[in-house]
C-alpha cells in the first residue's frame, strides 16, 4: 500500500504543483479585480482554493492506494462522498430542521440509482479508477441540483407565504398550495443540466471524452460515452432535486397542515441556539 503511494509521487507532482500555483495566481488576480468593484470574496476564495487543492491531493493519494480495490471499497468511497455532498448542500438550508438527512437521502437516491444502473448495464466498471471519478461527477451534480432545489423552494415559500396560507384557509391540501413552487424548484435544479446537455460538443468537450481520446479510445465512442455520462448526470440531478423538494415540502407543514417554514420562524441549529444564548460582552 505504502509502495503504491510512493510510486505515485513522481516528478509529475512537482509539475502539477507548479501548474496549481499558476491557477491560484490567476484566481487571486480575479479576486483582486472583484475587490476593486466592491465584490469582496477574498476570504471565501482563499478557503475554497485551499480546500480544493488539499482535498484533490488527498483524493489522489486515496486513489493511489486503492487503485486496485474492489467494488465494496469503491462503494464506501462514494458513500463518504455522498455524505460530504449532503453536508455541503444542507448548508443552503441550515435553518431548516433535518436538512442534512433530507439532502443525504436525495443525493444518495439520485446518484445511487444512476450509478447502480450504469454498473448493471456495464456503462461503468467496478474498477475504482473509473467508478470513483465518474461516480463523483454524478454525486457532485446531484449535490448541486439538491442545493439549487432547496434554495429555490425555500425562497419561494418565504416569498409567497400569503398565497400559501390563503390556500390553506380555503381548505386546500398543503401539497396543492405549494405545487407551483415544487415545480419551479425542480425545474431550477434541472435547468443547468439541461443546458449542459444541449451545449455538449458545441460549447464544451468534457474531460472524460478528452481523457479517453488521450488514452487511445475511438473519438466517436468517446463522444457517445460522454453523452451517456452527461445524460446520467441529468437523471441523477432530476431524481435528487425532485426528492429533496418533496421531502422539504413534507417538512414545511405540520401534521395539522400549518405552514411551519415561515419568515423568522425557521429552525435554528443547536450550535446557533447555543451561541445566541451565551452572554455577550457589552
Among 50, 198, 258, 274, binds other proteins (CB under 8 A): 258
Candidates 3, 122, 162, 279: give the one binding other proteins (CB under 8 A).
162
Instruction: By CB under 8 A, tell whether 199 contacts other proteins.
Output: no
- 169 binding other proteins? (CB under 8 A): yes
We find the least distance from the C-beta atom of residue 194 to other proteins, in angstroms, to be: 25
Phi, psi of 257 (to 5 degrees): 55, 45
Integer CA distances (angstroms), 259 to 96, 157, 174, in order: 13, 9, 8
How many residues bind other proteins (CB under 8 A)? The answer is: 18
Q: How far is CA 158 from the centre of its chain?
A: 23
d(CA 44, CA 21): 18
Closer residue to other proteins in complex, CB, 10/169:
169
Q: Which is nearer to other proteins, 146 or 164 (CB)?
A: 164
Residue 273: strand, helix, or coil: helix
Q: How far is the CB of 258 from other proteins (least distance, A)?
A: 6
Q: Any contact of residue 259 with other proteins (CB under 8 A)?
A: yes
Asked if 259 and 161 touch (Cβ cutoff 8 Å), the reply is yes
DSSP letters spanning 94-149: TTSTTHHHHHHHHHHHHHHHHHHHHHHTTSS-S-HHHHHHHHHHHHHHHHHHHHHH
- Contact residue for other proteins among 11, 171, 263, 270 (CB under 8 A): 171
Q: Which residues bind other proteins (CB under 8 A)?
A: 162-163, 165-173, 176, 254, 256-259, 265
Amino acid at each position: 500500500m505504502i509502495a503504491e503511494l510512493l510510486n505515485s509521487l513522481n516528478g509529475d507532482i512537482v509539475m502539477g504543483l507548479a501548474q496549481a500555483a499558476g491557477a491560484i495566481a490567476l484566481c487571486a488576480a480575479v479576486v483582486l479585480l472583484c475587490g476593486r468593484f466592491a465584490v469582496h470574496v477574498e476570504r471565501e476564495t482563499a478557503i475554497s482554493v485551499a480546500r480544493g487543492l488539499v482535498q484533490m491531493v488527498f483524493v489522489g493519494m486515496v486513489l493511489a492506494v486503492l487503485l486496485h480495490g474492489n467494488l465494496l471499497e469503491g462503494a464506501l468511497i462514494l458513500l463518504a462522498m455522498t455524505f460530504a455532498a449532503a453536508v455541503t448542500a444542507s448548508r443552503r438550508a441550515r435553518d431548516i430542521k433535518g436538512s442534512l438527512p433530507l439532502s443525504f437521502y436525495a443525493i444518495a437516491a439520485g446518484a445511487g440509482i444512476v450509478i447502480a444502473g450504469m454498473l448493471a448495464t456495464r456503462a461503468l466498471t467496478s474498477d475504482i479508477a473509473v467508478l470513483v471519478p465518474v461516480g463523483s461527477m454524478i454525486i457532485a451534480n446531484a449535490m448541486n441540483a439538491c442545493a439549487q432545489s432547496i434554495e429555490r423552494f425555500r425562497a419561494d415559500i418565504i416569498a409567497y407565504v400569503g398565497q400559501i396560507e390563503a390556500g390553506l384557509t380555503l381548505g386546500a391540501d398543503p401539497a396543492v398550495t405549494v405545487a407551483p413552487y415544487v415545480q419551479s424548484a425542480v425545474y431550477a435544479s434541472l435547468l443547468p443540466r439541461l443546458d449542459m446537455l444541449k451545449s455538449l460538443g458545441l460549447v464544451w468537450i468534457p474531460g472524460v471524452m478528452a481523457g479517453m481520446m488521450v488514452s487511445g479510445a475511438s473519438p466517436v465512442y468517446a463522444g457517445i460515452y460522454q453523452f451517456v455520462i452527461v445524460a446520467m448526470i441529468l437523471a441523477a440531478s432530476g431524481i435528487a432535486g425532485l426528492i429533496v423538494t418533496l421531502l422539504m415540502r413534507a417538512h414545511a407543514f405540520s401534521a395539522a397542515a400549518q405552514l411551519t417554514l415561515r419568515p423568522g420562524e425557521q429552525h435554528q441549529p443547536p450550535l446557533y441556539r447555543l451561541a445566541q444564548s451565551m452572554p455577550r460582552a457589552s
